[in-house]
Chain A
Amino acid sequence: MRAVLVLCFIFWGSHIYSQNKETLYDFNDLPQSLMLNPGAKVGFKKHIGIPFLSQIHLNAGFRGASLFDVFGDDGRDINEKIETTLNTLTSNDYVTLTQQLEIANFGWESKRNEDVYFSAGIYQELDVIGFFPKDFAVLAYQGNRDFINVPFRFSTINASGELLMVYHFGYNKRVNKKFTFGARAKLYSSIIHARSARNTGTFTTVETPQGRNIYQHIVSNADVELRTSGYASLRDLEEETGSDQVKNAVNKLIGRALLGGNLGVGVDVGFTHNINDQLSVTGSVNDLGVVFYTNDVETYRARGNYIFEGFETPIQFSGEESQNFIDELEEAIPLDTLSNTYVNMRPMKLNGSIRYSFNQYDDGRCYYCIEGEDPPYLDAVGFQVFTQFRPNRPQYAASLFYYKRLFHFLRTKVTYTVDDFSPYNLGFLVSTHINKFNFYLSANNVFEYTNLAKARGASVQLGFNIIM
């Protein structure tokens, strides 16, 4: 219990952000920008990511509070701080955690058509979001005495988590100097998934001055559901012991990662439109897809209505069996375990940007003429927007950015982002290109790094590529 509480607050407090990669988006020096916009401009002929190291991405955050709010060493009583935090948070606040690891990422220019670039790869993704279950947190922390006649809403219970592998293949086509588009087909193999959303109903303690007893405790129109896949068989493994248990669990998980899990399909599409030499517009849709959960599925569902008024006693001449509260409750709101298959949308993301480039490189030596390309612009400024669809409501972010090519081997981008977590989020990306070897590092919420405890979110990406 204690560990869970600490973990919750660490997740909530230490980091923040949705899956927004504002620094990587439209950063066309890196092949990873193709993962955000398959229609990005490609300026290289081949790339290969260093396996397992081409992109390490961690992105976590909490909307509503920080770690410091609760665990700050400020001499105040922790219970007082929890209560204050509890009162500040709403059921629209949430914790998110996204982690991605590219296992392979490579691409090549088509031999038949140099305007076509193919890319492919595999990455693993962990994506968790939990909305703050405000009503039931209050019920657990304060009880119902101060909330007589106030409904506690089951709709505040809202969370999902998934671990999956993604196999992808992308096609990028430069139609002409003005227009590039692309698409990426994705095959998802879900390893484990759980989701509880769109719950309905309320629990209310109602004062009944004219009733049979002082209160009525009413569960009204409850419909609470937790869908899981990939969990039941792991739970069954618990019966085994020792090394067999671990071995079987690992084998199962690897099998699911290798397309043995619940499969899904999806697509990314995107484009770049150069309005003129210096001004361009881009847009992309990521993870427009579904996963079909058909194997190892267990859904737990409780539905019904129940009113508790206490126990009727002493009574005489009733002739009825005495009531059993637990049996009555279970009958009124049965907990069913179902194995119905289900389908779930992937959390779709939208990106868009407008970019103005300036300060064209020209040292008079016409270095780039040999390649038949225009010299690059060394600077660019622009505006980006991001939306991600989540169980409760979409998350939004908007960024201003400044791109600077300092030397041939050093390219950078700075972003200023306003989003759910913070109104002053500064991010940066540094990408080194030494011969064919590339290393990049990006982080956001830079101001907060001096004390992550007070941060409400942070995101880090780094990786190594060979780019030719």
Chain B
Amino acid sequence: MKTKKIVRLLCLFCIALMSISCVKDLDFDQVEDVVLTPIFEVDFIFSRFETDEFVDPGIDPSIVIPEVVVRDTLDYDLLATDFIVDNLEQIELTFEFRNTIQRAFEFDFGFLNDADQIVGPAFSFTAAAGNGPGTEPVITTEVIVLDSATIDVLGGARRLISSIRVQNVNSGLEGVLELRSKGTYFINYEL
């Protein structure tokens, strides 16, 4: 009789323990509100030119070449994944030119799709002329912002096309033009 009572008491105790053990004041629906907003900084493109890459140093310095253009294309499909297109809110591209050549350079770039047609906007800016070899380089900084609508369009990009153009050069011109750039990628990823 006494034993039964004890067993009952024990059962009660166990039930009591289970009933007081609970998970209170939690709201798992908050998961819906979780947003990951990391910001990544990644190198974009870079380049370095000395004047002898534009003009053969052997040419008579009195001959002026009206315009030299360097064009290049590069496979580039980093914007083509669904994750990027869906969750990239903004890209800031920062370009930095350092120039000691006494000429201004025009820099253009844009993106091509599978069919080699331009997609999205084309960008163009001018690197200011430098003060000649041995001087402090003249720095030109440009920032372009790609919003999410532009990023959607650039989802179709497969190649990057760029060019540098300089006018009225001769073999007497000396100095270096450097281009450095980075992309700042603002992700907004809702779970």
A365 within 8 A of B: no
A window 141-181: CB within 8 A of B: 141-146, 148
Give 1 or 0 for each of B155-191: 1 = CB within 8 Å of chain A CB.
0000010111000000000000000111011010001
Contact of A441 among B14, B21, B71 (CB under 8 A): B14
- Across the two chains, which residue of chain B brings its CB closest to A452? B23
Residues of B within 8 A of A449 (CB): 17, 20-21
User: B residues within 8 A CB of A141?
Assistant: 36, 38
Is the CB of A276 closer than 8 A to any CB of chain B?
Answer: no
A140–B83 alpha-carbon span in the complex (Å): 14
Q: Does A453 have its Cβ within 8 Å of any Cβ on chain B?
A: yes
Q: How far is the CA of A214 from the CA of B42 in the complex (A)?
A: 9
Cβ of B33 under 8 Å from chain A: yes
Q: Does B1 contact A (CB under 8 A)?
A: no
Size of interface on A: residues with Cβ below 8 Å to B: 59
**CB pair B41 A14 closer than 8 Å:** no
The docked-state distance in angstroms from the alpha carbon of A189 to that of B60 is 84
Residue of B at shortest CB range from A71? B26
Given B33, B42, B72, B94, which contacts A315 in the complex, CB threshold below 8 Å? B72
* Residue of B34, B38, B78 touching A5 (CB-CB under 8 A): B34
Complex interface: chain A residues within 8 A of B42 (CB) = 215, 217, 308, 310
In the bound complex, how far is the Cα of B23 from the Cα of A111, in angstroms? 51
Q: Is the CB of A215 within 8 A of B182?
A: yes
Question: For residue A462, which residue of chain B has the nearest CB?
Answer: B14
Say whether A317 contacts B180, CB under 8 Å. Answer: no
Could you tell me the distance between the alpha carbons of A213 and B40 in the complex, rounded to whole angstroms? Answer: 16
Query: Which residue from B7, B22, B46 sits with its C-beta under 8 Å from A451?
Result: B22
- Residue of A whose beta carbon sits closest to that of B96: A214
**Contact partner, B25, options A72, A212, A310, Cβ 8 Å:** A72
A432 lies within 8 A of chain B by Cβ: yes
**Residues of A contacting B25 with CB < 8 Å?**
68, 72-74, 451, 453
Q: Does B3 sit within 8 A of A, measured CB to CB?
A: yes
User: How far in angstroms is the closest Cβ of chain A from B30?
Assistant: 4
Assess whether A409 is in contact with B6, with CB atoms less than 8 Å apart. yes
Rounded to whole angstroms, the CA-CA distance of A451 and B21 in the bound complex is 6
- A1's nearest neighbour on chain B, judged by CB, is B191
Give the most central of B36, B74, B96: most A CB within 10 Å: B74
Find B43's partner among A1, A5, A309, A409 (CB 8 Å cutoff).
Answer: A309
Binary interface profile of B, 34-73, with partner A (CB < 8 Å = 1, else 0)?
1111111111111111000100000000000000001111
What is the minimal beta-carbon distance from A359 to any residue of chain B, in angstroms?
Answer: 21
Interface pair B27/A310, CB less than 8 Å apart = no
Query: Is the CB–CB distance between A214 and B182 below 8 Å?
Result: yes
Nearest-Cβ distance from residue A15 to partner chain B, whole angstroms:
11
Q: From known contacts A71-B26, A314-B164, A451-B24, infer whether A6 and B31 are also in contact, taking CB-CB under 8 Å.
A: yes
| Chain A residues whose C-beta falls within 8 Å of the C-beta of B33 in the assembled complex | 77-79
CB-CB < 8 A to B24: which residues of A? Answer: 451, 453
Asked if A443 is an interface residue, CB under 8 A from chain B, the answer is yes
B76 close to chain A: CB less than 8 A: yes
CB distance from B159 to the nearest CB of A (A): 10
Residue A235 at the chain B interface, CB threshold 8 Å: no
Write the nearest CB–CB distance from B11 to chain A, whole angstroms: 10
A314-B43 CB under 8 A given contacts A143-B187, A214-B182: no
Are A212 and B36 closer than 8 Å at their CB atoms? no
A1-56 interface with B by 8 A CB criterion: 1-2, 5-6, 14
User: Which of A212, A409, A430 makes the CB contact (< 8 A) with B13?
Assistant: A430
Residues A314 and B71 in contact, CB atoms below 8 Å apart: yes
Please state if B22 and A452 are interface contacts (CB–CB under 8 Å).
yes
Query: What are the residues of chain A within 8 A of B47 when measuring CB–CB?
Result: 312-315
Could you say which residues of chain B place their CB within 8 Å of the CB of A74?
25
The listed residue (A144, A145, A214) touching B180 by CB distance below 8 A is A214
A423 to B73, CA, bound (A): 63
In the assembled complex, B136 has its CB within 8 A of some CB on chain A: no
CB of B38 within 8 A of CB of A143, answer yes
Complex: A382 Cα to B137 Cα, angstroms: 77
CA A68 – CA B23 in complex, angstroms?
9
Given the complex of chains A and B, what is the CA–CA distance between A313 and B46 in angstroms?
6
Q: A72, A314, A325, A407 — which one has the most chain B CB atoms within 10 A of its CB?
A: A314
A297-320, CB under 8 A of B: which get 1 and which 0? 000000000001111111111000
Within 8 A of A (CB), among B58-114: 70-76, 78, 94, 96
Interface pair A213/B182, CB less than 8 Å apart: yes
Report the separation of the CA atoms of residues A452 and B26 in the bound assembly, to the nearest whole angstrom: 10
* A258 contacts partner chain B, Cβ-Cβ < 8 Å: no
**A1, B74: Cα distance in complex, Å:** 34
Which chain A residues lie closer than 8 Å to B6 at the CB level? 407, 409-410, 432
For residues 109 through 137 of chain A, which have their beta carbon under 8 Å from a beta carbon of chain B?
none
- Chain B residues near A322 (CB-CB < 8 A): 73-75
Give Cα A323–Cα B76 distance, bound, in whole angstroms. Answer: 10
Interchain CB contact (< 8 A) of B160 among A143, A148, A313, A409: A313
Given the known interface contacts A312-B46, A314-B72, A453-B25, the answer about A205 and B41 at a Cβ–Cβ threshold of 8 Å is yes
Q: A214-B96, A316-B70, A434-B7 are in contact. Are A145 and B31 (CB under 8 A)?
A: no
Q: Does A468 contact B (CB under 8 A)?
A: no
Q: How close is B108's CB to chain A, nearest CB, in angstroms?
A: 9
Q: Which residues of A contact B26 (CB under 8 A)?
A: 67-68, 71-73, 453
A145 surroundings in chain B (CB, below 8 A): 39-41, 184
9 residue pairs of the A-B complex, CB under 8 angstroms, read: A14-B23, A78-B34, A141-B36, A143-B187, A214-B180, A215-B43, A312-B46, A313-B72, A323-B74
Q: Residues on A close to B: CB < 8 A?
A: 1-2, 5-6, 14, 67-68, 71-74, 77-79, 82, 139-146, 148, 205, 212-217, 308-317, 322-325, 407, 409-410, 430, 432, 434, 439, 441, 443, 449-453
Q: 9 tightest A-B contacts by CB?
A: A310-B43, A143-B38, A314-B72, A449-B21, A213-B46, A73-B27, A78-B30, A143-B39, A145-B39
